[in-house]
Structure 1
C-alpha cells in the first residue's frame, strides 16, 4: 500500500470519527475499487467499518422532490381539492383541509401515500395522484480549494470540471487529482468517489442534481470540517451518526 493511499484511508477514518456527534440516516459502505479507473481509490467496509459512504453506482435513484419543484396534487374523488403547488423553501406544500405536508425528499408515490393518509379523516375515499409538473432549479455545490465556493445552478449538462471553472477555478493549494464527488445513491444513501480534476488528465464526470464537489488542500481528511459547514446550507437536513449496535457509520441528506 502506498503512503498516499494509506494517508487517504486514515484521513477518511478520522473524518468519520469527527462527525460522530451529529444525528441519523441510512447505513452505507465505502465504494469498492474499480478496475476501470485507477483514480477511484475507495476502501471496502470490511477494512474500514466507520467510513460513512455507500458503494458507488451509476444507477439513477428514484426522483425525490426538491424545494422549487412544481407538482399537481389531484384528488379524483374530490376534484375541488386538486391543487398545483410549488414545494416551498422549507420543503412543504399547503393543501386544503389538512394544511402543511412535507414534500421534499419524498418520491411521488411516498407523497401520495402521505397525503392520502392525511385526508383519511376528511374523505371517504382519499385517492391521491401526485404529478411532477416542472422540476425546480437544479443545483450542485462546490467547496474547498476553489476561488468562489458555493452553489452553482445547472443550465443544461454540466460536468465536474466545468462546475469548478464556474466556481472560479482551482486555487494553487488545491489537490485537483484527489477531489471528492459526493452523490445521493439508490435508497437515499450518500456515495463518495475520488475524481481527477486536472486539465487533460482528469476524467469527464457528468453531474446530477444535488452533487457535491469538494477539492481538498492535501487529503480528504478535510471532509470532516466540510460536512460540518455544509449542514446548515442544505435545504434538506444532513446528518451523521454511529450505529450503537455494530459501530457502523452512515450519512444521509
Structure 2
C-alpha cells in the first residue's frame, strides 16, 4: 500500500523530473548486472534500428541530396535593395570577376555566395555609413550554367545549358537536369555503367560534394529522384561498366538518355563471313539481297553480318566475340551465342552494335551437316552463293546455290554429268582461300552419300568444280585430231583424180 505522503511527494513536478533522471542513470547499471562488460574508456554507441526494432524491415537507402543552394556568379542579374535608402537600391549584372560596384562602399565580391550570404557581406560594409542597414538581394535572371560531361558518353566535353523560365520577379525558373546534360552530350554509350553515375558539385566553402546516381532505377521504376537538377560548375562522370549484360544493354539502348538509335555506326566484321571488312550499320537499312527488309530493324549484330555477306559454312556462331572500345582506352569483350538465338529466340544475343565495334566470327572446329543445312535457311547466311561448274557437264558455267549446298547439288544444278564424255569417278575442287591462296583436290563422287568432307563436301562461294573427260573421250578426241589432216589429204586426192 502506497503512503499518501509519499504519493504527494512524487507528484511534485520538480521531484518527478529528478526521479526520471535518476532512473535513466540507473538503467545502464542494470545492463551490467545482466553480464555485459564495458571498458572503462569505452564510449556509448547509439543503438541501431535493428537492435531497437529487431523484427522491423530495413529502410531503403535514400539518395544523398546535393547542395541545391544557388551560388552567385558572373552573368547573374541581381537587385540589391537597401531598405529606406532607395537611391542606393539598384540592379547589377555581375561581371565575370564576381564583384559589383555599390554606392558609398565601392567594389564588393559576391562570387560563390548565396543571395543571403552576399546580403550579409554588403550589410557589414554599409554599417560604416548607415546606422541600421537592412539589405536584401533578389536574383532577377540567373546565368546559363556551365557543366562538364565525361566518361561513357558520345561526345564528352564542356557544355553551356540554358535555364527555362525566370527567377526573382519571375520565380518559375527551371534548371536543367542530369538527363538533359547527358542528352546534350548525345547520350551514354552502350559500354556505360548507369548505376554508378557520379555528380561532382562545388559547395560554398570551396569543398566538393560527390553524389552517386543510379539511372537504372529511373528506367525500371521511374525514380525521378535520380534526375537531379544541375548547378553551374557541376561535373557528371559516366563510368565504364566492368561487366556486360546483354539484356540490360538492350534496355539502355531504348532509354531516352542513350546514344541516338538512328545514327550510323561503323563496325568491323572479320572471320568467317563472305565479305570481311568495315561497314556502316544503320537502323532501318538492311541488305535486302540477304533476306532483310529495307526500312526496318535495329543496328544489331545480325544486320552487320548480313552487310558482310553472311556467314560461311565454316562459321562457329556459338562463340562469336564482340570487341568494344571504351573511354578508358581498354576494350570490353562480349561473348555471343547466335545458336541460342536461333533455337530459343533469345533476342538479347542479337546485341545492338555501336561505333567502333569489332565482330569476330571464329572458324568451327567441327561441322554438323544437319546444323549446316539449318543455318543455310536463316538470315545469317547469304540468300545465294555462286559456284562454277565446268568441263564435262550438260550445262557448264556459273550456278546459283543456296548457302551450305554440297558438291552433288552443284553437279545436279549444272545438269549432271555428260554421260558420253565425263569422268564420273572423281572431280577437281578448286578453292580460293581467304588468305589469297588456292587449293586444289580430287573428290570422289558418290550421289548416294549425304554431306561429308570426303565425297560430298559443302561448297563455298566462288568454288570451282572441274569435271574431267573420261579415258574413252580423251582417246576419241586424240584420234579426231590425227584424223583431221588425213581426211583433208584424201579429199584433195579425190578432187584431183589422184
Superposition pairs of residues 36-185 of structure 1, within 5 angstroms: 36=60, 56-57=64-65, 61-146=68-153, 147-156=155-164, 158-183=176-201
Structure with max Cα Rg? 2
**Aligned residue number for residue 236 of structure 2:** 213
- Matched-pair contact (CA < 8 Å) for 1:142–1:152: no
> Secondary structure, in 3 states, of the residue corresponding to 2:87?
helix
**Aligned residue number for residue 307 of structure 2:** none
Once the two structures are TM-superposed, the CA of residue 120 in structure 1 deviates from its matched residue by 2.7
2-structure distance, mates of 1:154, 1:197: 23
Q: Deviations over 1:200-238 (max 9, x none)?
A: 45854333232431112368xxxxxxxxxxxxxxxxxxx
- Matched-pair contact (CA < 8 Å) for 2:144–2:160: no
Once the two structures are TM-superposed, the CA of residue 85 in structure 1 deviates from its matched residue by 0.4
Once the two structures are TM-superposed, the CA of residue 37 in structure 1 deviates from its matched residue by 6.2
Larger mean Cα displacement after TM superposition, 206-215 or 118-127: 118-127
2-structure distance, mates of 1:61, 1:170: 25
> Secondary structure, in 3 states, of the residue corresponding to 2:211?
strand
**Aligned residue number for residue 212 of structure 2:** 194
After TM superposition, the score normalised by the length of structure 1 is 0.53
Once the two structures are TM-superposed, the CA of residue 167 in structure 1 deviates from its matched residue by 0.6
After TM superposition, the score normalised by the length of structure 2 is 0.29
**Aligned residue number for residue 43 of structure 1:** none
> Secondary structure, in 3 states, of the residue corresponding to 1:169?
coil
Unpaired stretches in structure 1, ≥5 consecutive residues: 1-33, 41-55, 220-253
Once the two structures are TM-superposed, the CA of residue 163 in structure 1 deviates from its matched residue by 2.0
Once the two structures are TM-superposed, the CA of residue 124 in structure 1 deviates from its matched residue by 4.1
1-structure distance, mates of 2:59, 2:209: 18
2-structure distance, mates of 1:115, 1:36: 44
- Matched-pair contact (CA < 8 Å) for 2:146–2:158: no
**Aligned residue number for residue 26 of structure 1:** none
Larger mean Cα displacement after TM superposition, 170-179 or 196-205: 196-205
Unpaired stretches in structure 2, ≥5 consecutive residues: 1-57, 165-173, 243-498
> Secondary structure, in 3 states, of the residue corresponding to 1:80?
helix
Superposition pairs of residues 3-18 of structure 1, within 5 angstroms: none
1-structure distance, mates of 2:182, 2:132: 51
> Secondary structure, in 3 states, of the residue corresponding to 2:237?
strand
> Secondary structure, in 3 states, of the residue corresponding to 1:110?
helix
**Aligned residue number for residue 335 of structure 2:** none
Larger mean Cα displacement after TM superposition, 108-117 or 138-147: 138-147
**Aligned residue number for residue 287 of structure 2:** none
Q: Deviations over 1:82-117 (max 9, x none)?
A: 221022222221212322211122222222221122
- Matched-pair contact (CA < 8 Å) for 2:157–2:185: yes
